[in-house]
Amino acid sequence: MPVSGVVLTCSDGCADAVAARIVDFSGVEVHGVLPEGRIVAVIEAESIDAEVDLVARLHEVDGVVTVRMAYHNFEDLS
Amino acid sequence: MGLSRREFLKASAAAAAFAAAGAPGLSPFRSEAEAADAGVKWGKAPCRFCGTGCGVLVGVKDNRIVATKGDPQAPVNKGLNCIKGYFLSKILYGKDRLTKPLIRKGDKFVEASWDEAMTLIASKFKEAIAKHGPDSVAIYGSGQWTVFEGYAASKLFKGGIGTNNIEPNARLCMASAVTGFMTTFASDEPMGCYDDLDLGDTYFLWGANMAECHPILFSRMIDNRLKNPKVKIIDFGTRHTRTSQMADQYIRFNPQTDLALLNAIAHVIVKEKLYDENFVKNHVVFKKGKEKIGYGLEDKFKFADDPKPMTFDEYKKFLEPYTPEYASKLSGVPAAKIVELARLYADRSRKVNSLWTMGFNQHVRGTWINNLVYNVHLLTGKISRPGENPMSLTGQPSACGTAREVGTFTHRLPADMVVMNPEHRAKAEKIWGIPAGKIPAKPTYNATEMFRALDRGDIKVLWSQVTNPFQSMPNLNRYRRGARKGDGRFVIVSDIYPTRSTELADVILPSASWVEKEGMFGNAERRTHQWFKMVEPPGEARSDLWQIMELAKRLGHGALFPYKYVEKEMFEEYRKFGEGQGKDLAPYEAYTKTRGLRWPYVNGKETLWRYAEGYDPYVKQGEGIKFYKNKADHYKAVIWARPYEPAAESPDKQFPFWLCTGRVLEHWHTGTMTGRVPELKRAYPAAVCEMHPADAKGLGIKHLQKVKISSRRGSIVLPVDLNGRGKAEKGNIFVAFFDETKLINELCIDAYCPISGEPDFKKCAVKIEKA
């Protein structure tokens, strides 16, 4: 089950609302909301497919400006 | 309290994300993160995908990649990768990875040893050369070749076999940018760097969907805007994309009319006297070339420009007809908007940048449109200054580092040199230690002409490496048929997976990929980035470099590669070309230790801004700005008077729509690497036809219904997408070219810019019917 750490950038003043919204996404754990509208989150999914789907959905959330990946571990995929 | 492995990994993920977000101290997980990574060996590499050249840390355990991280020490991306970074995990591990040489026997491919395959290949080369001469053999390479691979290929073909039949797929993406640079500045590649994205405040995007195609660079611009409310992003496009959504203004224009728009902007700047008079006087000359220059549609099409000097007054006269009203009529952009944007370009309180990629380059007047955007920056003096530059963005990871800098084109040698110049040839012959007169003086074929030559039989043997021409060439049907005409033709394809090109080959060679070999790429900001081999390639796969040197040996040219540590010694030899030429590269060792270095690299320092005093070591104190590569024009840049001319094939009654092709975020080019991720296909499963709802309604078509799209060259059936991330404008459709089951390039026209040879993948005429 791959795991990744991502950083979301949000438009001015939207970070808290975005965090509240994405906390409901299955497979997304919000670990922090930083000043300057950045959110640190960890994503887990069954496959890379599902990870990418999830990240693509995060891109589409109102107030999300960018989603970038800091770390990706996929050691248990054969 | 013990944590499971999973919890350790999540801790690592969070810690890395906190660090990349600029708040490492906030991560509570540091020791767990360390534990997670125990046993994993990390090495640095540039990303395998686009020309941004992000730094990646690759984590290897037991000869397998198990993790990747954005490289925190990489200045390009500072610890973060875009969504394509997820697929670095999978490029190497698709189940149908090629692992053995394959030789065609009838309709089938039979496994062979390397010795058998290379013996056969060498014999075909020798036979063709003996019977038909050295110009009957050719190599088609890539902006995804490492520097070593491109250099070895060039040395073998030009310096050993004695033919200029070497072309990269970068002919299809960056050639117009190159000729734009060469005609305006007499030297290739941007004068600015990515720091301009952090330092500027005004960004004009021209036909470039940066949010999807250069996401990390786009993020840097957006981060800038989040911090600085003055920042404006203006998106000039023929279709509405995610970039348009995020821009401050989206300016829709009719395809091809960018030529009129930029001239109109110059017109306003000149008319309202918004230009920098001193800058123009000291740093600019004016020229005009031929007009009505054709479209490269006929085989063996030849064009030579005839530049003539102009005065500033003559240039002003040239601009007179390009009123905002005229440009508005052609383009659909309101005249008042053109005036507003011209004034924005010239605004002295703003640091203005222009950015572009394929909308400008894949254009039958690609050279001209590159000239025209430079014109605006030269008139206003907004160039070679921190935060203020025209920046040509590069698509492939090493179109710059390999294709353009090494010069893997028919007419080129390393470091901006050309085969047509006897001094350049002599210098190359000296460095390569080959007899004088060995390198031929005449260029042969650009990429399109190369495949036409194969079709006609003038080229008999063609070797393709790290690219997929039999999916990506325009007017594709002709070139696919050409490959299989027999009669002495022999096609070799080196790749890592079966593709629409390997299926047409006579021999398929299994290649090593990315970190399965030592390599070097050069990105869009002149940053050359090295990596070491980290994992073994699968089965018997070997690097393309090894394959070229092996052929060289068998053709009696082994002496061209007398190296022990091949990559390092070859690079040190290659460095000699650029030394003292404004193209200086650092010693190899320096690249092994850094996250890339931007050339010219002189006296231990990178150059961030070329041609600028205080930043470029070639510009002396007091010289200010000096375009020092353009000796012929007294070190000034050229403003070219280039007119509007129509596309090769515009919509008409029979074929009433514009077809544009391009990339989408999740798939890289022809999808041979990203397509391997079966999961990826869910996000964007198959090619679709982006269409405007009003056009769909007019045709009686609903969302996701199938349509038949036809041009004069081919047809295809696709579902219509009225609601995708990209939204077509009326009268236009857009189809991506990643889908190997939907070869949209069969419809594209193989018309090209007569100066650059680059085909126009963005404009041809199609009709649409219910399927």
Based on the residue annotation, tell me whether B698 is a catalytic residue of this protein: no
Based on the residue annotation, tell me whether B654 is a catalytic residue of this protein: no
H or E, element range at B765: strand B764-770
What confidence score (pLDDT) does residue B678 get? 55
Based on the residue annotation, tell me whether B84 is a catalytic residue of this protein: yes
At residue B720, φ and ψ (nearest 5 deg) are -90, 140
CA distance B623 to B612: 8
CA distance B739 to A19: 35
Burial of B321 (0-12, 13-18, 19+ CB in 10 A): middle
CA distance B707 to B716: 8
**Beta-strand relationship, B597-598 and B706-710:** unpaired
Neighbours of B422 (CB within 10 A): 12
At residue B598, φ and ψ (nearest 5 deg) are -90, 125
* Helices B447-456 & B476-483 angle (0-180, nearest 10): 50
What confidence score (pLDDT) does residue B174 get? 96
Q: Is B17 close to A11, i.e. CB distance below 8 A?
A: no
Does B768 or A59 have the greater pLDDT score? B768
Question: Which 3-state string (H, E, C) describes B108-133?
Answer: EEEECCHHHHHHHHHHHHHHHHHHHC
CA distance B26 to B362: 47
Whether B347 and B202 have beta carbons less than 8 Å apart is answered as: yes
Burial B600-628 (b: 16+ CB within 10 A, else e): bbbeeebbbbbbbbebbebbeeeebbbbb
At residue B514, φ and ψ (nearest 5 deg) are 50, -115
Report the SS3 class of residue B509: strand
H or E, element range at B695: helix B693-699
B247: closest CA of chain A, how far (Å): 11
B65, amino acid identity: I
Whether B158 and B419 have beta carbons less than 8 Å apart is answered as: yes
What confidence score (pLDDT) does residue A49 get? 79
CA distance B711 to B718: 14
CA distance B552 to B157: 9
Low-confidence ranges of chain B (pLDDT < 50): 1-2, 679-680
Distances (CA, A) of B506 to B498, B501, B502: 13, 10, 8
What confidence score (pLDDT) does residue B1 get? 38
Which positions ≥6 away from B433 have C-beta within 8 Å?
Answer: none
CA distance B404 to B413: 9
Whether B132 and B460 have beta carbons less than 8 Å apart is answered as: yes
B529: closest CA of chain A, how far (Å): 20
CA distance B529 to B647: 38
What confidence score (pLDDT) does residue A36 get? 85
Selected residue of A38, A42, A72, A77 to mutate for chain B interface (largest B Cβ count, 10 A): A72
Helices (H), B392-521: 422-432, 447-456, 469-472, 476-483
In angstroms and rounded to an integer, the radius of gyration of the C-alpha atoms of chain B is 25
> Taking CB atoms and an 8 Å cutoff, what residues of chain A touch B20?
5, 7, 68, 70
Residues of A with CB under 8 A from a CB of B: 1-7, 9, 11-12, 29, 31-32, 34, 36-38, 40-44, 47-53, 55-56, 59, 65-75, 77
User: The tokens 């991306």 sit on which residue?
Assistant: B77
A·B CB contacts under 8 A:
154
Distances (CA, A) of B451 to B157, B358, B461, B480: 17, 21, 11, 9
Neighbours of B30 (CB within 10 A): 15
DSSP string, B313-345: HHHHHHHTT--HHHHHHHH---HHHHHHHHHHH
Sign of the alpha-carbon dihedral angle for B429, B434, B440, B446: negative
B395-424 pLDDT, tens per residue? Answer: 999 999 999 999 999 999 999 999 999 999
ipTM of the complex: 0.96
CA distance B523 to B594: 14
Report the SS3 class of residue A64: strand
What confidence score (pLDDT) does residue B761 get? 96
Q: Is B80 close to A69, i.e. CB distance below 8 A?
A: yes
**Beta-strand relationship, B64-70 and A64-73:** antiparallel
Q: Is A47 close to B679, i.e. CB distance below 8 A?
A: yes
Among residues B479, B487, B540, the alpha carbon closest in space to that of B509 is found at B540
Which positions ≥6 away from B504 have C-beta within 8 Å?
Answer: B470, B480, B483, B484, B491, B493
Beta strands in B477-522 (DSSP E): 490-495, 507-510, 519-522
End-to-end CA distance of chain B: 63
B716-754 pLDDT, tens per residue? Answer: 999 999 988 899 999 999 999 988 888 999 999 999 999
Distances (CA, A) of B474 to B38, B453, B538: 49, 15, 33
Q: Is A53 close to B682, i.e. CB distance below 8 A?
A: yes
A13-27 pLDDT, tens per residue? Answer: 999 999 999 999 999
Burial of B26 (0-12, 13-18, 19+ CB in 10 A): middle
Question: Which 3-state string (H, E, C) describes B609-626?
Answer: CCCECCCCCCCCCCCCEC
